[in-house]
Structure 1
Amino acid sequence: MTESVLDRIMEQQDDLRKGGPEADRLGRLTDSTVDTMKAAGSIKMLQPKTHGGFEVGVREFAETVMATAAINPPAGWVNGVVGVHPWQLAMADSRVQEEIWGEDENTWIASPYMPNGMAVPVEGGYRMSGRWSFSSGTDHCQWAFLGAMKCDRDGNVVNPPTMLHVIVPRGEYSIIADSWDVVGLKGTGSKDLVIEDTFIPEYRVMEYDRLLDGSQVRAAGLSQTLYRMPWSCMFPLGITAATIGICEGLLAEAMNYQRERINARGTAIKDDPYTLYAMGDSAAQIRSAREALITNAEQIWDLVDAGKEVTFERRAAGRRDQVRAAWQAVRAIDDIYPRCGGTALRMDKPLQRYWRDAHAGLHHAIHSPSTVYHAAALSGLGVEPHGPLRAMI
């Protein structure tokens, strides 16, 4: 049997675990952690086989991200975020694929997708300026997907608004070194990027709506189920898998910590039914969140694989379940962490780091339940949502 990325990660878990506290201190992944992830092929799981990737299924991808996050939270987060970018690049123009992967199939690509750039059309492409926040793992990436709004030649946003994803090499944007001073997920190094009046050739530009409606993958001629999966399933999958994995890591650390602990009343935790009940219930909640996320992704995979349409109603229900899974797991650790006593607050203990990182994971836009729940409920009632209710679905 061929060794998987997960197998290779678990073989190096001791070294990978050591990189977590150091990443928190540095404000980015350690070079050693990145070397381990590259050797394992962490970011190549969704990469096309034509460029050295593995084209794994959604379960294998999610489970590998979860396991990595449980060992080293920021590494798992970067795995979940940066790991989806090869999936999107597989649909891009072959020229930019060759630019990125031609010499090094292990080249990492950053983001973010927020349309903070203004792309003005010129001969052969666009000129763009802007500033973007939350570029996870960016110190170790050589390219970036950046969101922009398409403008007319006078610099005004076109109507109807058109969002673009532009692909930019490292030498054409700046990383703002001191822009990631945060309470959680510090080790992800999710810094700001800046571009000033940079030329973007047309072949490095993708329209966001064409990613959503599937026309981008059809134009690329990709028939694999993996690449025909909806954007609204694949992009959130890695982020939620990382968040749940961090919660699994906290649970494991708490179980290890509580094993020989005596509480303030002089009772061994092994003899404390109240704490044991809470820990058992929380463990079940985290396990349930894990399975809900994976089952949802696999059900959508089965629809796509069978050549069936994944309707807006089904995509909205999938996003609802994905968001719920993240919140369920994080709420579960809120029942575990306080029961670990005052010593667990110490900064030299790992529990506080997992707790901070898991809560920070909920702050990502894809974990906002408001419009997602609203759209899912309306769709279930046979009402077609419009406008902002369709965002990221």
Structure 2
Amino acid sequence: MANDVLENLEGLRLQLCTQAAEAEELGSLPGNTADILRKTGLVRMLQPRLHGGLETDPWDFFDAVILAAESCSATGWVAGVLGSHPWQMALMPESVQHDVWAADPDTWIASPFSPFGKARRVEGGYLLSGRWAFSSGTDHCEWAWLGATVVDAEGNRVGADGTLHMLLPRSDYTIIDGSWNAVGLRGSGSKDVTVTGAFVPIERVIAEQKVVSGVAAREAGRSENLFRMPWSAIFPNAITASIIGMCRGALAASFDYQRDRVDEAGRLVREDKFLLAQLSECCSEVESARAQMMANVHRMWDIVDSGKEVPFEIRAAARCDQVRGSRRAVEALDRLYSHSGGNALRSDRPMQRFWRDAHAGLNHAINVYSGPYQAYALTRMGAVVPPNLRHDI
């Protein structure tokens, strides 16, 4: 099944490349691009089989995201973000999964999980209000995961629940057109969404820390390796996979561009030994980021497959590598770009879009390096890692 998705993406590579400029102009994936992505099956790769998903191994999903992003940054980004959401849906009650996917297994779920909402406890659930930025691919979704904290009637935070993830149907939230205007990933359509006093039943609410810690998987009775993998092995790597794909796409465009490029002295740049060395080193850096990410995923999978839980120190090391992998790939792209000449800046060159999009991806909160780096260093020292550094590991 995973091979089918990869073959589908390979066959559609040219079409996705062609539509990348249109997505950027629209500020969202064109409807045709979303349809193409649905047909590949990529977003269903981590979805439970019971609800029409493919339930593939996570490394196959990441490779598919990389391949999509190589062709079109926005498509790969949306695929990575939306494709990770079915994994979390598998931790919800069967009745909720049925509500989302019974009519159409290709129903997509947006986000974000950032706790920008305020939820007030009422009988049977919560009343939710708020505004959330960065809802990638939201135009093509029928549900959304939205992060919130619990407040009292005066709006003061109460309780010790931490961030809650709340699942809402499209009828309960509003997409703000014109709210996505960014220098990179313009085609991702990462618009703002708002909610005003929507009732969210308790069965559509899950605590973030239960998801991150693995408690949610145990409470849901999931026995499959895929759904017992740490959260930090799924969502963060989906973001990094899309960035690696963008950098791969930029490299491919660069090799195509540099092949017959002539410098200001009239010499073929492919005869420049220094440039060739730089290109090769940049390729190696990007592939190293992928290899390290995949090695960590396989390591954690083996632990889960043995019936054990992945220790915090291994999760911390993998999150450190994930963040570093994103940065390593983009740093390589920056070096590549600095040796590409003025023509690489032209808007009709795909390199400049990959470059802008990769930098936009690097600014996602999951790539903020301070927390994961500190947590990993403290684990290596055998020191206590404070709760604020553990929350997304």
Residue aligning to 1:328:
328
Residue aligning to 2:228:
228
SS in 1 for 2:339: helix
Residue aligning to 2:366:
366
Contact 2:70 2:76 (C-alpha < 8 Å) held by counterparts: yes
Alignment deviations for residues 14-37 of structure 1 (CA, whole Å, 9 cap, x no partner): 111111111011000111111111
Residue aligning to 1:216:
216
Q: Quote the offset at 1:349 in angstroms.
A: 1.2
CA 1:251/1:92 → structure 2, altered by over 3 Å: closer, same or farther? Answer: same
Contact 1:184 1:357 (C-alpha < 8 Å) held by counterparts: yes
Residue aligning to 1:175:
175
Partners of 1:220 and 1:72 in 2: CA distance: 36
236-245 vs 294-303, which moves further: 294-303
Alignment deviations for residues 183-233 of structure 1 (CA, whole Å, 9 cap, x no partner): 001000000010011111111111111112212111211100000011111
Partners of 2:307 and 2:208 in 1: CA distance: 23
User: AA paired with 2:96?
Assistant: V
Residue aligning to 1:315:
315
Contact 2:23 2:186 (C-alpha < 8 Å) held by counterparts: yes
SS in 2 for 1:84: helix
Partners of 1:19 and 1:42 in 2: CA distance: 18
User: AA paired with 1:73?
Assistant: S
Residue aligning to 1:302:
302
For the pair 1:348 / 2:354, whether they are aligned, the reply is: no
Q: Quote the offset at 1:387 in angstroms.
A: 3.0
User: AA paired with 1:289?
Assistant: A
Alignment deviations for residues 156-206 of structure 1 (CA, whole Å, 9 cap, x no partner): 322325211000001110011111110001000000010011111111111
Contact 2:144 2:167 (C-alpha < 8 Å) held by counterparts: yes
Residue aligning to 2:23:
23
**Alpha-carbon RMSD:** 1.2
Residue aligning to 2:269:
269
User: AA paired with 1:323?
Assistant: V
Contact 2:2 2:60 (C-alpha < 8 Å) held by counterparts: no
Normalised by the length of structure 2, the TM-score is 0.98
| Unmatched 5+ stretches in structure 2 | none
Q: Quote the offset at 1:151 in angstroms.
A: 2.6
Contact 1:253 1:351 (C-alpha < 8 Å) held by counterparts: yes
Residue aligning to 2:259:
259
Partners of 1:299 and 1:162 in 2: CA distance: 30
User: AA paired with 1:174?
Assistant: T
SS in 1 for 2:194: strand
SS in 2 for 1:193: strand
Residue aligning to 1:45:
45
Partners of 1:170 and 1:363 in 2: CA distance: 27
Contact 1:58 1:294 (C-alpha < 8 Å) held by counterparts: no
Alignment deviations for residues 269-301 of structure 1 (CA, whole Å, 9 cap, x no partner): 221111111101111111111111111111111
Contact 2:2 2:45 (C-alpha < 8 Å) held by counterparts: no
SS in 2 for 1:308: coil
Contact 1:378 1:384 (C-alpha < 8 Å) held by counterparts: yes
SS in 2 for 1:281: helix
User: AA paired with 2:251?
Assistant: L
1:68-217 equivalences in 2 (<5 Å): 68-152=68-152, 155-217=155-217
Partners of 2:338 and 2:10 in 1: CA distance: 29
Partners of 1:163 and 1:297 in 2: CA distance: 26
Q: Quote the offset at 1:80 in angstroms.
A: 0.6
Runs of 4 or more above 6 Å deviation = none
| Unmatched 5+ stretches in structure 1 | none
Partners of 2:121 and 2:166 in 1: CA distance: 13
Q: Quote the offset at 1:249 in angstroms.
A: 0.3
Residue aligning to 1:12:
12
Residue aligning to 1:242:
242
Residue aligning to 1:375:
375
Contact 1:90 1:97 (C-alpha < 8 Å) held by counterparts: yes
Partners of 2:77 and 2:232 in 1: CA distance: 18
Q: Quote the offset at 1:3 in angstroms.
A: 4.8
SS in 2 for 1:392: coil
Alignment deviations for residues 307-338 of structure 1 (CA, whole Å, 9 cap, x no partner): 12212111111100111111110000111112
Partners of 2:25 and 2:279 in 1: CA distance: 30
Partners of 1:231 and 1:287 in 2: CA distance: 24
CA 1:319/1:15 → structure 2, altered by over 3 Å: closer, same or farther? Answer: same
User: AA paired with 2:149?
Assistant: M
SS in 2 for 1:118: strand
Residue aligning to 2:282:
282
User: AA paired with 2:148?
Assistant: A
Contact 1:92 1:220 (C-alpha < 8 Å) held by counterparts: yes
SS in 2 for 1:4: helix
| Aligned residues with identical type, % of pairs | 46
334-343 vs 82-91, which moves further: 334-343
Partners of 1:153 and 1:271 in 2: CA distance: 71
Q: Quote the offset at 1:235 in angstroms.
A: 1.1
Partners of 1:59 and 1:200 in 2: CA distance: 34
89-98 vs 253-262, which moves further: 89-98
User: AA paired with 2:132?
Assistant: W
User: AA paired with 2:100?
Assistant: I
